[in-house]
Amino acid sequence: MDPQTVIAKRIARELKSGMLVNLGIGIPTLVAGYAAPDVQVFFHSENGLIGTGAIPAEGMAHPTLTDAGGRPVTALPGASTFDSAISFGFMRGGHVYITVLGGLQVDQTGHLANWMIPGKMVPGMGGAMDLATGAKRVIVAMQHTAKGQSKIVATCTLPITSARPVDCVVTELAVIRFTGGKAVLAETAPGVSVEQVRSATEADLTVADDLHEMGLS
């Protein structure tokens, strides 16, 4: 199973019926495809859509129906579209239960950096700051390392997205939760040892007493 699939399938297990869930760009968009059939959630895209469906089949994309990153999506029956003012009102008003965001770095206290690399052209923060601050739960979906360097660091060297720590990070190696200013290793991916996670992680990790294997079914 490829790393992005592992991440998306594990995060999908966090979804419960009735939730309003925002999916960021990149790996987070894959989560919708792994939600259990009996779980009825409402997927929100910050550009003004509730009822986001799966990525359309080739040749079936609608030119004006996209997610916040411009990627084609589908709209489920009963979907609602609205302007950015209303969309950001959902985000800032605490109405989004879970947001799943991509990440460039997360530090050992749970601070997320996901919007800027100094010296490189980037599209901007978009709604990441609003989501990281306003959603009831913030889950980061990202691969554990990039070019051999850990993305779970002692201190972020990139500009952070919000002063509020995230709730957890899901990578292809582990689920790491943040509580009391500490990074807690809660789950390891199938076939991955604690030592492998530690060696790929710059941040200090506390191993949970109830550490268990990540469920992916």
Instruction: Evaluate whether 189 touches 7 at the Cβ level (below 8 Å).
Output: no
Name which of 101, 86, 98 is nearest 162 in CA terms.
101
Alpha helices in 140-205 (DSSP H): 194-199
Catalytic residues: 46
Residues with Cβ within 8 Å of residue 46, at least 6 apart in sequence? 22, 68, 84, 87, 88, 91, 126, 127, 130, 131
CA distance 173 to 144: 7
- Sequence-ordered strand ranges (E) for 74-123: 75-81, 98-101, 105-107, 112-113
The DSSP call for residue 72 is B
Measured in degrees and rounded to the nearest 5, phi and psi for residue 51 equal 110, 25
CA distance 79 to 7: 26
